[in-house]
Amino acid sequence: MGGTRAEIRALLDGYKAAGYRRIVALRGDLPSGMASAGDFRYAAELVSFIREHSGDHFHIEVAAYPEIHPQADDAHADLHHFKAKVDAGANGAITQYFFNPDAYFRFVDDVHRLGVRVPIVPGIMPIANYTQLKRFSDACGAEIPRWIAKRMQAHGDDAASVRVLGAEVVAQLCRRLLDGGAPGLHFYTLNRARATRAVLEQLD
């Protein structure tokens, strides 16, 4: 959001010259106080532009929302908007994080029925701080199941217990996803390694 065609063209040329080959193409959100939305309204337009300007040089990933993007008109429209990004040239997708594996499997089945064949990698959010996670999840439309919320709340400010329970819950989710055929996992580490490492240790 906010970028002009000329700016994105210069960025792409810079990335290419520096030897980068992989891009995660996101529309993002308009920062508050920013006057112009720029030349691209949706990520699909950005993907088209990257293909138009740089051909097949970049491997492009886009965002996917198994629990529906919060600004989508409805679930059906959101699925079709996701398909438009793949049709525009995306090679794969990474999902918004979620804690309900059925939402992911359902999403994969739905887009498969629409003819989408690119790998869809689940985004995983390790749980380090429940209050922060709750705030973040409310904003981005990720649902925290009641049974997880209640157990987390029971630990209150005991950060060590929250981390242990968080690692257990998230590792179980990862196992179910991999067993169910997910092509890999994408961890939102948010520059903090510890909670992700705790999950990986449980996954061996």
Ligand X SMILES: Cc1cc2nc3c(=O)[nH]c(=O)nc-3n(C[C@H](O)[C@H](O)[C@H](O)COP(=O)(O)OP(=O)(O)OC[C@H]3O[C@@H](n4cnc5c(N)ncnc54)[C@H](O)[C@@H]3O)c2cc1C
- Options 29, 52, 138, 201; binder of ligand X; rule CB under 6 A: 29
Among 123, 126, 128, 199, binds ligand X (CB under 6 A): 123
Interacting residue with ligand X among 47, 69, 122, 182 (CB under 6 A): 69
Q: How far is the CB of 97 from ligand X (least distance, A)?
A: 8
**Residue count at the site for ligand X (CB under 6 A)?**
19
Region binding ligand X by CB under 6 A among candidate stretches 41-49, 104-112, 127-135, 149-157: 41-49
How far apart, in Å, are the Cα atoms of 198 and each of 4, 50, 71, 123? Answer: 41, 37, 33, 16
* Options 2, 15, 16, 28; binder of ligand X; rule CB under 6 A: 28
Footprint of ligand X on 185-204 (CB under 6 A) = none
Q: Is 42 in the site for ligand X (CB under 6 A)?
A: yes
27 is an interface residue for ligand X by CB under 6 A: yes
User: Per rule CB under 6 A, is residue 26 in the interface with ligand X?
Assistant: yes
Q: Does 111 bind ligand X (CB under 6 A)?
A: no
Of positions 96, 116, 182, 199, contacts ligand X by CB under 6 A: 96
Task: Find the binder of ligand X among 94, 111, 165, 169 (CB under 6 A).
Answer: 94
The span from the CA of 154 to the CA of 166, in Å, is 13
Q: Is 170 in contact with 133 (CB distance < 8 Å)? A: no
Least distance (Å) between residue 182 CB and ligand X: 14
Binding-site member from 2, 38, 53, 72 for ligand X (CB under 6 A): 72
Q: Kindly state whether residue 171 participates in binding ligand X, applying the rule CB under 6 A.
A: no
Residue-wise DSSP of the chain? ----HHHHHHHHHHHHHHT--EEE-----PPTT-----S-SSHHHHHHHHHHHHTTSSEEEEEE-TT--TT-S-HHHHHHHHHHHHHTT--EEEEEE-S-HHHHHHHHHHHHHTT--S-EEEEE---S-HHHHHHHHHHHT----HHHHHHHHHHTT-HHHHHHHHHHHHHHHHHHHHHTT----EE--TT--HHHHHHHHHH-
Q: Side chain identity at 166, as an amino acid letter?
A: G
The site for ligand X (CB under 6 A) is made up of 26-29, 42-44, 63, 69, 71-72, 77-78, 81, 85, 94-96, 123
